[in-house]
Chains A and B, each alone.
Chain A
Amino acid sequence: MDGTLPRPISLPQMHAPHPETWLKTTPRGLYVEPGDFYIDPTAPSDRAVITHGHSDHARGGHRHVLATAQTLSIMRLRMGDEAGRQQQALQYGESLTIKDVTLRLIPAGHVLGSAQVVLEYRGSRAVVSGDYKRRRDPTCPPFDVQSCDVFVTEATFALPIFKHPDDKDEIAKLLQSVQLFPERAHLVGVYALGKAQRVIMLLREAGYDAPIWLHGALVGLCELYRSSGLDLGEFRHVGDMPKSGLVGQIVLAPPSAIEDRWSRRLPDAVNCAASGWLRVKQRAKQRGLELPLVISDHADWDELNATLDEVGAPEVWVTHGREEALIHAASQRGIRTRALSLIGFEDEDPV
């Protein structure tokens, strides 16, 4: 890799404690012992730091929740009273000391409000990256590279078969199909948080300015994105719109709606979905999709590996996904690795 800094050879200085002595794997997730808080805990906890609003990371019922203001508002929208009795917002880059630990949130580039958690304790630094991607995304700031002693990474797409194509080309496919089948509706299955808004923004950037139709489950989050300052253009709830009104239109819905009776209200829908998994044609075919769009909010294989090289941590811990492949590749480059086997995280997108 060109431009990569030389990797630090030594472990943290003699007096700095190794992160494994204070950042611990527990049944409910990663626990920061000297600060007495959990990161993305899977069960209700006294103090939780939440990396982003997806439901396998942001769960309800914690007493005190620390996250970016955007993540907190996403949590309030999705779970109401369950979003945490006390909520504390932290801006990107702002630091906060909790007991003996200093903490900062920096952009992860995954969805609106998504953050990596930078933890410092007695001169040793660990970064818990949550879910992240390295591509440009008009809906959130890009991933911030932070050097550290231990980097905790996801491994959702950690196989060399996963190389996400350019999202512009994928959106071009969708628009081409809309032209080829003007008498049909295009139903795009998207994750309600992040993917939906990114697809809308990509459509707008490609010059598509017609209203975009939404399944009810997507409306609230799109409004939230809009109120955070993102210009999504005109979107409308499909509601009771008769079939004839949806001819030639693009409709976004949660992936499960494609198989649901809900989709019968659309005129001869072309079933599409946007997900990194769809790079594997067999998977797209199994799901009965007519137009798979390979658009992912996670880092692909090359990006995961490049990220490990850029943060330059001598040690990498791998959480959910295909840990063994990333560990295999990182070990071959002399990086010390460890699989965390955290439970409770979705191995796969719903698509």
Chain B
Amino acid sequence: MKKFTQLNGIVAPLDRANVDTDMIIPKQFLKSIKRSGFGPNLFDELRYLDEGQPDQDCSGRPLNPEFVLNKSRYQGASILLARQNFGCGSSREHAPWALEDYGFRCVIAPGFADIFYNNCFKNGILPISLLDDDVDQLFNEVASLEGYQLAIDLDREVIVKPDGEEIAFSIDAFRRHCLINGLDDIGLTLEDESLIRSYEQKHIKKNPWLFGAIK
């Protein structure tokens, strides 16, 4: 998993409450054998005017000009500003996979659905919950300044606005540790690599036939 310490990025505002995971990545794309490549189909139904099919080349599809991610001023955004209950609905891990593949590393909202919130951390995305008023304020500022950027400092747990003003947020210490060090479950287990190796050495001595038979 990618490490997350500092992030400076353009903010794209998705002004809509209860965005569910089916909206983030529609069900026809779950047939895929991959966990990457979902980016072009992120928000597929909102983003395109036609119905998307798996494995389709999206470059020629008609774009919905009204949709925020299609506006030139938000190209290259890595921070998604969202509304209440973001990521509700089905538990599909494809939702964070799609956000990450598109290029989002951080989602700011007044609140998130539980499973989605968890899944974000497993995939190197930082979900930040802020007070309603702070989120409202951010929506206003993003709208009024083209190229609006935020700096996210996970170490200090603050968001730094273009004018230098800071908004504090908080993330569970263990999750923060994992994100900062780029540790997923696998990364965590690998912290015990030498323990596993020394177990393996003992195991091989006792049961040599368990090793090397299949080549």
Asked if A pairs with B, the answer is: no
- Chain A residues packing against B (C-beta within 8 Å): none
- Chain B residues packing against A (C-beta within 8 Å): none
